[in-house]
Amino acid sequence: METAHDEPSGAAAAPPWWRDAVFYQVYVRSFADSDGDGVGDLEGIRSRLGYLELLGVDALWLTPFFTSPMADHGYDVADPRDVDPLFGDLAAFDRLVAEAHEHGIRVTIDLVPNHTSDQHPWFAAALRGGPERARYHFRPGRGAGGELPPNNWTSVFGGPAWTRSPDGEWYLHLFAPQQPDLNWDDSDVRADLVRTLRFWLDRGVDGFRVDVAHGMAKAPGLPDLDPAVVPVLTGAHAHPVEDPRFDNDEVHDIHRMIRQVVDRYADTVTVGEIWVQTDERFARYVRPDELHLGFNFKLALTAFDADSVRRAIDNSLAAVAATGAPPTWTLSNHDVERHVTRYGGGETGTRRARAMALVQLALPGVVFLYNGEELGLPNVDLPDWALQDPIHEHTGGRERGRDGCRVPMPWEGGGPTFGFSTGDRSWLPMPSDWASFTVESQLEDPGSVLSLYRHALEVRKTVEAFDGEELEWYGAPPGCFAFRRKGGGLICALNTSDAPVPLPPGEVLLASGPVTSSDLPPETAVWLV
């Protein structure tokens, strides 16, 4: 029923829970495996809810666990209203949601509306020439006998965005050929999404992260790409130019439709994965009647450099300033190289990642953490035989893909699975030297990355200095910055230079590394009041 989340009548209005929440992204395959098959599952997540409560996060974001042949590890959905047996069943999902709520943790799930699996019943019927063909983008080819694709669009995963069907027509897939794009001009497609939204909301979910939120509507007529820009478009998130495949105006009607459904369930949230050219285009997705939040990649694409980080913060705040939506902040996720590695790896990368954790958690708005970043996990350079990302396959090995940031969580003990699985293998191999990264080894170590995150999350929740949604910048030496939360008075300072700098005045609340009473060392951040 649609009132499952309604507030009691007469309840005082309060800011939405998600406005300054810390979301924890669980890549379901890689979090915890309860049945020994080497792949994470819903019961595995449920068994670790106590850890997540101890960590101090407010909400989970679960990557797809729906029925799927796993050509793209769940992002090719064959049934959006059921659980793939690899991950459990609907009863396991219901237990997970209920127990998460008992732990005070909300649950949001992935929504994959841009495409289906080629094993979806609709697509099987479309290939047979049924009326379901109108739910996808089928077109006759060009050239003699239709031997050429209908246009020159490329797939994000490499190669052409068209595959020829047995009857000679071609179908569009902006990702893998096993992921045919849906036609959002079709009323059946829209009606089915409404059914999916209601299905999961009625089961108690607290919201959705919308995959490829900028991609559902294609430019009318599917015009050719400018040949001059085609070579720069391949890559998981390469949309550097005007691109008729993505960010077309009609997509906003779809988001308004989603919002109308979600708003009938109190305390729910929508988060869009948005890759667009400009801040102005980004802001359109988080207007009051569209997405509540836009997933912001600016920090995740920024080097460890004070000036670059400050520009990313300023641009992020400016992008949502006129919309009423809070900013969001992320350093890593399942599509992006882990930031310990991006920042140089080893001790250097870890030291810089610790500093950026304090910067991220000091900012106003919503924070997204990716499972394992609270352990300081690096990207893993996997051997070719272990790679499973379709990007690696469809680029002919030119791109390594995203497997390196998806290696499973190390929980306790030793290899080969470090407590991730009850069996002796994991779907991606785990490095044999990860014993020092386990939750077990870090939990009682006050100097560990995990202890830093736990302390920072506790302070963020309980200290009034974090109040307020505006920042004020201080003057700072080259290679440094300092800002103050105007509503509460927290000061966060970052030194990315190679020399110590004077600390701003105030009492130290928390530091990413050792600090003196007067100096902030290189590659260190600090909170002061």
Residue positions annotated with a catalytic role = 211, 273
Q: Which residue has the tokens 């800002």?
A: 483
- Write the DSSP string, 306-328: HHHHHHHHHHHHHHHTTTSPPPE
Question: What's the helix, strand, coil split of the chain in %, to 5?
Answer: 30, 15, 50
Torsion sign (Cα): 339, 343, 345, 346: negative
Which region holds residue 32: left if phi is over 0, alpha if psi is between -120 and 50, else beta? beta
CA atoms of 138 and 181, how far apart (whole Å)? 10
Q: Does residue 295 sit in helix, strand or coil?
A: strand
CA atoms of 261 and 238, how far apart (whole Å)? 31
Residues whose CB is less than 8 angstroms from the CB of residue 58 and which lie 6 or more positions away in sequence, other chains included: 17, 18, 21, 22, 23, 104, 105, 106
CA angle 102, 105, 108 (to 5 degrees): 125
State the number of CA atoms in the 13 A half-sphere of 518 facing the CB: 0
Decide if 340 contacts 377 (C-beta within 8 A).
yes
Closest CA to 460 of 526, 365, 361: 361
Label residue 168 exposed, middle or buried (CB < 10 Å: 0-12, 13-18, 19+).
exposed
Q: Does residue 188 sit in helix, strand or coil?
A: helix
For residue 387, CA distances in Å to 78, 390, 405, 406 come to: 23, 9, 12, 11
